[in-house]
Amino acid sequence: MTAHALQGSPESTALYDIPGPRARRRHLLYGIASTAVILAIAGWILYLLFDTEQFTAEKWAPFTYEGIQELLLTGLGNTLKAFAYASVLSLALGAVLATGRLSVHRPVRWTATLFVEFFRAMPVLVMIFFIFVALKVQPLPALVAGLTLYNGSVLAEVFRTGVNAVEKGQREAAYALGMRKTQVMSFILAPQAVRAMLPAIISQLVVALKDTSLGYLITYEEFLHAGKLIASNLDYDLPFIPVVMIISPIYIGMCMLLSWFATWVARRERRNPKTVAVEVAPAAGQETVLPGGPR
């Protein structure tokens, strides 16, 4: 392939050459083979589901009853309630701990660092069980407290890294203008850091949403707990697989909704790369000159 062809083709790239006829045929064969393997696996899974009678009317009958539907809706509402509390408190705790880690005072910085490293390394389930059993806290507060301590510690590192990623020259320029430290953090560093941190923040909130399912281990009646009650019902021949097929898409949908929200916020917060010049009034006795000529 000539250099002229590489430069003239809109599909050319500096990283690799455009595949030729043999490469395109090879890629097509790879695609067909991969599709065949995926379809074979999907067919095998469907065969197993039908062979074990997972689609019989008896196993799906519970979902037609109003009481079962109310149980699932109540569990979903409890999941969202625990997630709402945990996410708000985690963001607040993360901001406080990040401020402590960025402090110029050593005792404050060391205390915040010790807190973050301890609870970030502690398994979430252990914290939830300890708060529920040892401290004898009710299920919802125990679940929220465990999620807040862990996710708040992780978010503290996200916030600290985001603030430190802002160019230091902006901080120095703000101090040179006479701004106080709180003003620099509130008006200069935090707004820019949030835009950079948003994907990591949403990813951690997705983790918090999925970890609310740990509440069923301490008898909190959340979504997974409701599904467990239905799946263990002998009257409907233990409909475990139907329950999974109902609950899993809802969890996936909620996580995708969070990701979509993050993308939407990022688009709104993205700055316009084009800048508009501001016309400055001329001094007395001077003439304003525009690109089209004197005015």
> Which token pair is 236?
């409907």
pLDDT score for 250? 93
CA angle, corner 14, sides to 270 and 27, nearest 5?
A: 100
Q: Is residue 21 part of a domain?
A: no
Q: Is residue 37 part of a domain?
A: no
Number of domains in the chain: 1
Q: Is residue 275 part of a domain?
A: no
Q: Is residue 110 part of a domain?
A: yes
Q: Does pLDDT of 145 surpass 60?
A: yes
Q: Is residue 118 part of a domain?
A: yes
Q: Which domain holds residue 249?
A: 66-269
Q: Does pLDDT of 26 surpass 60?
A: yes
**Distance (Å, rounded) from C-alpha 185 to C-alpha 192?**
10
User: pLDDT exceeding 70 applies to what percent of the chain?
Assistant: 85
pTM: 0.75
Q: Is residue 129 part of a domain?
A: yes
**Distance (Å, rounded) from C-alpha 264 to C-alpha 253?**
16
pLDDT score for 186? 74
Q: Does pLDDT of 282 surpass 70?
A: no
Rounded to the nearest 5°, which phi and psi values hold at 103? -70, 150
Q: Is residue 171 part of a domain?
A: yes
Residue 237 sits in a domain whose CATH number is 1.10.3720.10
**Distance (Å, rounded) from C-alpha 231 to C-alpha 68?**
11
Q: Is residue 236 part of a domain?
A: yes
Question: Among the listed ranges 33-37, 84-88, 290-294, which one has the minimum average pLDDT value?
Answer: 290-294
pLDDT score for 15? 53
**Residue 214 burial (CB < 10 Å; 0-12/13-18/19+)?**
buried
Higher pLDDT, 71 or 189: 71
Question: Among the listed ranges 2-16, 89-103, 110-124, 196-210, which one has the minimum average pLDDT value?
Answer: 2-16
- Give the model confidence (pLDDT) of 262-276 as tens digits: 778 777 766 544 434
User: Are residues 233 and 239 in contact, defined by beta-carbon separation less than 8 angstroms?
Assistant: yes
- Going by pLDDT thresholds of 50, 70 and 90, the confidence category of residue 194 is confident
Mean pLDDT of the chain: 83
